[in-house]
Structure 1
Amino acid sequence: MQKHESALFRITFAGIEAAPAVAAALEVFRANYGVDFVTYHLARTVIGAVDAPFVRTTYPDPWVSRYLMRDYAEVDPVLHEGLVRQLPFDWREVDVPEAAHEFYADAQAYGLGENGFSIPIVTKSRRALFSLNSRKPDAEWSTIVSERRSEWVELAFLIHEKAVVERYGEHDPIPVLGGREVECLHWSALGKDAKDIAAVLGLSDHTVRSYLKSARFKLGCATVSAATARAAQLRLINPYGNTHT
C-alpha cells in the first residue's frame, strides 16, 4: 500500500481483497468512491479469438446488451486507446472519430456520463483496462481525478490480480517472461540477430543468446523465430511498438 493512503483507500483496498469475485470488487470500488460506473476489461491474450476477453462491469444490463448487440467494441475509442496506451488518461484526451458519435449519443441516452478515467494495466504477461465513468460536471470530475488517481491506479492493479485468478486459477496459460527476455524477443522480431541485440542492449552475445534460449523454453518453441511469433501472438511483445506491450 501507499505510505500516505487515505482512510477511504484503506477501506476500499480491504473490501476488494475480501470480495468473492471481480464483480463484487467493482461494486465495492464504485460505492466507496461514488463513481457512477466501473468496468474491468482483461484483453484477449491470443489474437484470433482462442481466448475470449474477460469483462466485468457495473453498467446497467440494458446498456451492456445494447453495446454487445451493436458491436460497439469496434468503434469505442476509449477501449481502443486503453488497450494501446501505457499511462492513465482522462477520456477528454481521446479524439472521437466521426464513426463513434452515434455510440457516444447512444451511451448518454442509456444514462452513462460524459466523463471518465481509464487506467491501462500492463504487466510482463498481460494487458487490461480499468475504466471509470461519471455523470459529474467537468470541473468537479477533474478535481476528483486529481485527488484520487494514484489510489485508483493501485486499486486497479489489485482488481487485475483478482481477475487473473478468477479467470485462470492455477492454470494460467500465459508464461511470465523476464524483462530482458521480452526485450531480446522484441528486437529479434524486428529482424536483429544476437550480435545486433547485444549492441542495442549493451550485453554480450552470450548473454543475449541465453535470454533468447530461456524465452524459447518458456514459450515451448524450438526456434527463436517461432518464439518471437508466439510472443507477439500472446501480446507479450509488440513488434510494431515499444518493447513492452
Structure 2
Amino acid sequence: MMDFNSDISSLILPNGRSVPGTLDSEDQVKHVLEQVSNAYGFRGFMVLSVPDSGCRNLAGQTQLTTWPAEFYSRYDGASLIQGSPVIERLRRSTIPFTYDAHQLARRRLDGKGDACVSVFEAANIPRGVYLPVHDAVGNRGAIAFGGDRPVVSNDELQALNLWAGLLYSRWAFAKRRDRRGPGSLSRREIECLRWAAAGKTTVEMARIMALSEYTVNHYLNRATRKLDSVNRVQTVAKAIRAGLIN
C-alpha cells in the first residue's frame, strides 16, 4: 500500500523543481497542484468529489480548481454532467485515464457531443487526464489536469497518478482539520471575509487577491460552512464577533 503520508519533497517535477515536504493547509496543496499542472504543460487542474447518479451540476462537486469559472457556467448550463462518459467511468473505476473532448463527444448518447467539445475548447482544456483518488476514510474523488498539450505518455500518467494520490491525501487531511470550528478559518478565508466586510464584490476581491472569482466564492462558501451561517452577511457578522476580522 502506498504511504500517502510520506515526505514528498524527494519527488522531482519535470522542470527539475521539488516541492515542500510539509503541506499543512489547503492553500499549500493548491499551490503545489498548480506547480504540477504547469510543470506537465497543462493549463489548470480540478479536484472533485465523484458525483452520484442524481447529481445535476459539476460546480457543486468541485473542491479546488484553476479551470475558468466560465467553463463551469457553460458546462452546467448545458446539463453536460448527465450522460458524461467521464463521470460514468469515475463511478465504476479507480484506474487513471486520459481524455480527449472530441473522442468523448462521439461516446455521448444524448446528442450533446458538439456542445461538450465547444465548452472544453473554449476553456482551452480539450485534452488531459483524470486521476481517481480517495482519502483515509474512503471518500472517492478525482483530480483532473487539462490543457491543449499532446496526450501524456504512460510514464507521465503514472507520475501524475502518484502526485494526485499524495496531494489529495494531504488536502483531505487539511480539510478535515480545518472543519474544527471558527478558529480554524484559513488565511485565505479570513482575507476574503475582510474584503467582504469592506464591501468588496467577488469580482473586486478576485482582482485584489489575484484569484479567480470561482476560487474567491469557494473560500467564502467554505467560511460560511465553518461558521454555520446561512449567507455571506451573517458569516461576516459572526467572524467580527469572534474576533477573526476587524
TM-score, normalising length from structure 1? 0.53
* Structure 1 residues 69 and 88, CA gap change in structure 2 (3 angstroms): same
SS of structure 2 residue aligned to 1:72: coil
Structure 2 CA distance for aligned equivalents of residues 16 and 80 of structure 1: 34
Instruction: Decide which of 96, 100, 107 is 1:96's aligned counterpart.
Output: 107
In the comparison of the two structures, how many residue pairs are matched?
164
Alignment of 1:2-151 (within 5 A): 6=12, 8=14, 11-14=17-20, 17=23, 20-21=26-27, 22-43=29-50, 53-92=61-100, 96-99=107-110, 100-122=112-134, 125-136=138-149, 140-141=150-151, 144-151=152-159
Overall identity of the aligned pairs, in %: 13
Cα RMSD, aligned residues only: 3.7
Pairwise CA distance, 1:71 = 3.3
Superimposed CA distance per residue, residues 147-193 of structure 1 (whole angstroms, 9 cap, x where no aligned partner) = 31222111101221233134322769xxxxxxxxxxxxxxxxxxxxx
Pairwise CA distance, 1:134 = 2.5
Structure 2 CA distance for aligned equivalents of residues 20 and 40 of structure 1: 12
Q: Is the 8 A contact 2:133 2:143 kept in 1?
A: yes
Structure 2 CA distance for aligned equivalents of residues 31 and 135 of structure 1: 12
Superposed structure 1 runs of 4+ greater than 6 Å apart: none
Q: Is the 8 A contact 2:26 2:175 kept in 1?
A: no
TM-score, normalising length from structure 2? 0.53
From the CA coordinates, give the structure whose radius of gyration is larger.
1
Structure 1 CA distance for aligned equivalents of residues 33 and 91 of structure 2: 19
In structure 1, stretches of 5+ residues that fail to align are: 173-245
